[in-house]
């Protein structure tokens, strides 16, 4: 029962900082805000770009752009969710530019993979596509809220807290939805693996890919 007042106080402190930044261009307020969110922003950006220096550049570029129009952006409702969305979009832009640059250097360079495997072989790519198809069919059968939570974490790669804010539920409820969704998917995979035509190494790769997916989703 003591947690709720602390959460409300934190929200009020955050809103006060954002207001000072937007209205007064308060540098100290921005420093306090940045100190509080720097690690989360960098970690989130690094999920996409896989390079801490690039992640730092992305976060810096986004914050500078928002500060240039601070009176418009820093007073937005759900500013934190908006900020993470800006980080994601900037990361995707960075990856597109990096992909084009790499293609000029080596036409046969591997395409950047965002999920599970880096530089997939034809076999592991086939396994990932196979798993993606299984997951695609499974999530269509999930209850609407569970499906929405799963897609926000898996496809949009939002942290659990941001998903909780967007969905209007607790972080704990987000985790429960994810675990239930993964349990449903595992049941389908287990049944799929009963196929006698699958080789043992094929089965092991599917199990490995699913395990990596589960760990990734539950650690956001």
**Tokens read off for 50:** 């896989």
Give dist(CA 114, CA 216) in Å, integer: 12
Residue 220's pLDDT is what?
A: 65
Residue 197's pLDDT is what?
A: 79
Q: List helix spans (H) across the chain.
A: 3-24, 27-49, 52-68, 70-73, 79-105, 122-140, 144-154, 160-167, 171-192, 200-218
The hierarchical CATH code for the domain 3-99 is: 1.10.1740
Domain 122-218, architecture per CATH: Orthogonal Bundle (1.10)
Parse the chain into domains and list their residue ranges. 3-99, 122-218
Residue 3's pLDDT is what?
A: 32
Residue 13's pLDDT is what?
A: 78
Give dist(CA 167, CA 184) in Å, integer: 21
**List of residues 6+ apart from 196 with CB closer than 8 A:** none
Residue ranges in the chain whose pLDDT is less than 50: 1-9, 104-119
Residue 77's pLDDT is what?
A: 80
Give dist(CA 3, CA 6) in Å, integer: 5
| Tens digits of residue pLDDT in 131-141 | 788 888 888 88
Give dist(CA 127, CA 133) in Å, integer: 10
Give dist(CA 167, CA 149) in Å, integer: 8
Report the candidate in 25, 38, 106 with the shortest Cα–Cα distance to residue 70.
25
Residue 122's pLDDT is what?
A: 63
């Amino acid at each position: 029962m003591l947690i709720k007042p602390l959460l409300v106080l934190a929200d009020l402190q955050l809103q006060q900082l954002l207001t000072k930044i937007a209205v007064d261009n308060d540098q100290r307020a921005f420093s306090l805000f940045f100190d509080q969110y720097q690690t989360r922003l960098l970690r989130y950006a690094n999920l996409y770009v896989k390079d801490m220096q690039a992640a730092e550049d992305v976060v810096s570029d986004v914050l500078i752009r928002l500060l240039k129009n601070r009176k418009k952006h820093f007073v937005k409702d759900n500013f934190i969710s908006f900020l993470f969305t800006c980080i994601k979009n900037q990361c995707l832009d960075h990856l597109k530019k990096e992909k084009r640059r790499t293609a000029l250097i080596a036409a046969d360079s591997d395409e950047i993979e965002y999920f599970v495997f880096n530089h997939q072989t034809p076999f592991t790519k086939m396994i990932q596509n196979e798993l993606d198809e299984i997951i695609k069919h499974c999530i269509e059968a999930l209850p609407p809220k569970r499906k929405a939570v799963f897609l926000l974490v898996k496809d949009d790669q939002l942290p659990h807290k941001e998903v909780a804010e967007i969905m209007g539920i607790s972080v704990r409820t987000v985790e429960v939805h994810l675990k239930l969704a993964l349990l449903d998917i595992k049941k389908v995979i287990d049944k799929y693996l009963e196929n006698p035509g699958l080789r043992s190494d094929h089965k092991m790769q599917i199990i490995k890919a699913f395990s990596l997916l589960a760990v990734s989703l539950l650690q956001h």
